[in-house]
Structure formats: C-alpha cells, structure tokens
Amino acid sequence: MIPAKTITILPGDGIGAEVTHAARQVLEAIANRFGFKLKTQTALIGHEAIVATGKPLPEETLAACKAADAVLLGAVGHPMYDLDPSAKIRPEQGLLALRQDLGLYANLRPIQLFDELLDASHIKAETVKGVDILFFRELTGDVYFGQPRERRDNGNTALDTMIYSRYEVERIAHKAFVAAQQRSGRLCSVDKANVLESSRLWRETVQQLAKQYPDVQVTHMYVDNAAMQLIKNPRQFDVVLTGNMFGDILTDLASELSGSLGMLPSASIGDQHSLYEPIHGSAPDIAGLGVANPMATILSIALMLEISWQQADIGQYIRQVVDLVLKEGYRTRDIAESHTPPHKILGTTAITERIIDKIEQPALTLI
C-alpha cells in the first residue's frame, strides 16, 4: 500500500499551467488505478508570482514546497524581461532560489526516444535508434550561483564566477556512479579541464572517486567534443556527469535526439527534497492556445513515482501508456510528421484524455 502523498504544484508561467494541469489529471487517474491517496496544492513562482507578490519565489511557496512529499513544476519565464536585460527581479531567480533553498543539487535528465518518434528527430533514425542516456547535471553550483557576479566600470564590464568545491562535485558524482552501476557500468564525465581551473578540480575529484567504483568504466570528455559526439554518435553515452552550465547546454542539445523538448522529463533531487519538471521552457508564443505537449510533464510524474516513492513498476506503466498512445499514431503539434493525419494531431486536452483513457482500461496492466 502506497502511503498518502502531498504534492505542491507550481504551474509557473506560459504553458506551465496547461501542462501541470494535464499531469495532475494523469496522476489522479494513476492514484485511482493503483489505490493510493493524493493531496495536491498549488503555489506561485516566476512571473506570475512577481505580478501577485513582487517576488519570484514567495515565502508561502517555499514553505509549501518544503512541506510536500514532492514538487511538480511547469515552467518559468516571460518575454517582457528579455526587453530589459538589467531587470533586478526576474522569473528565473525564483527557480534558482528554489533549487538552492531545497538543496536540489542533482538534476537527472533521461534522454530516451520512443521508436514511434524516430522520424520526429532531425537526426538520422539509424543514429538515434536505441539512445538511452541519463544525464547528471550539478544544479546548485557553477557560474549560475558563483560570487561575485556584478557590473563594473560604470556597467561596461560584467563579471560572473565559475566556482566549485570538492564537496559539491563529490556528492553528485556519487549518485552518478551508483546509477552507472545499475545500468551498463559506463560513466562519461564532461568538463573543460584544458582551460578551466574549476574543471581541473572536477576531473581530479571524479578520478579519485572512481577508485571506489572499480566496476564502473570512467571516461572524460571536453564539453565541446561532447556536444559534437552527442549528435555524431549518441549511443556511445550511457551515464553522463557534468556541471551546471555545461549540463544545461548539453541536455537541451540532446533533446534534439528525441525530436522535441516536449518529450523530455527531469528530476531535481537533494538529500531531503525533490522536484520534477519538463525541460522545455514557458513557450509564451503558444501559451493559452491549447497545443502544448504535456507528455514531458506526464513523464516527469513517472520519475516522481520511481525516485521519490520507489514505485518503479508504476513509473514504467506510465511510459507504457504514453508509448501505446504514440503507437496509435496520436501526436501533438511539435512531434507531428508530414504524413500524420490531421485528425491524429491533438491538443493538450485531447492527448491527455487519450492517456487517461488507457489508464482506466482494466485490461491494461503493469508490464
């Protein structure tokens, strides 16, 4: 019996409200199907929070996240801030502060491609078929959090600090090594140790930790080469460990392997708290149109069940359901192909209903 769970949902900005609403409906259907109780509450973050409270992360939101068993986030960001790069308050500050305050130092981003979407990727099918990569991106250090960060010389010079401590590298590296042990036993650590002192510390620390995991084959790769290899030969990677900024860029690049950002979930975990979110942004150009792909957020629910609640079978069940809907030819606009029949291209609500219909079918059991 799964204990009752409380989830704090942060819809955020843009399409965040649409995709988190879809994921909540799916999670409620899963709870009904497998017999566990669920309590959800919503809170503000990002631009919506700034409008309502003047802060990108209100104290009430942080308290609700700390009290929950898990957090589900939609997206943060609004185009109005692009017009003023010097704005002191920005939506993204709320997300960065949330990660730091909850101690979410490890970001897990699985890159997997459903066979039905091979043609949706701009990369050749023979290159991406069978890709299964798990990224471990350090999330609370690096240049995004380093100090000092400031303007000098009357605003004509800008400074950001890329900084890592050995402890920060060790704690995420341990998680990556354990994951590699549970997979193929291969780990690639990505850095820029040829030019960056922080990367030299990163590589040195990973090399030392590797002695504790003799069953894991460790390789090291510079970030520029890793970017090229992800497109050229992605199947060479299994577990990839890297820093905050490099991980941000590489995982967005790797999303092209799957055909759409709308298909990729993520989990941000620490020692006490966890947060789950799609890796796509707020997509303000399609917000409110009802065409957003909710499947990355729904697949983030699968990660939540696996990681926070140790329900691997139910997490896999959700992926099975999504796969069945794709096998029937249904697509959202972002993953539709030129030969997809118009009646099979569905909006956010309709594709969610298809997924829920599958969950409610008694004959569809756990694989």
Name the residues annotated as catalytic. Answer: 144, 192, 224, 248, 252
Q: How many other C-beta atoms lie within 10 A of the C-beta of residue 104?
A: 22
Count of residues for the chain? 367
129, two tokens: 């078929």
Report how far residue 180's alpha carbon sits from residue 35's, in angstroms, rounded to the nearest whole number. Answer: 33
Task: Decide: 278 and 262 in contact? Cβ < 8 Å.
Answer: yes
- Cα separations in angstroms, 233 against 117, 190, 253, 365: 18, 16, 13, 36
Report how far residue 157's alpha carbon sits from residue 311's, in angstroms, rounded to the nearest whole number. Answer: 50
Q: Where are the alpha helices (DSSP H) in 129-215?
A: 166-182, 197-210
CA angle 298, 286, 77 (to 5 degrees): 75
Residues 6+ apart with CB under 8 A from 18: 74, 287, 288, 290, 292, 294, 348
Report how far residue 352's alpha carbon sits from residue 52's, in angstroms, rounded to the nearest whole number. Answer: 29
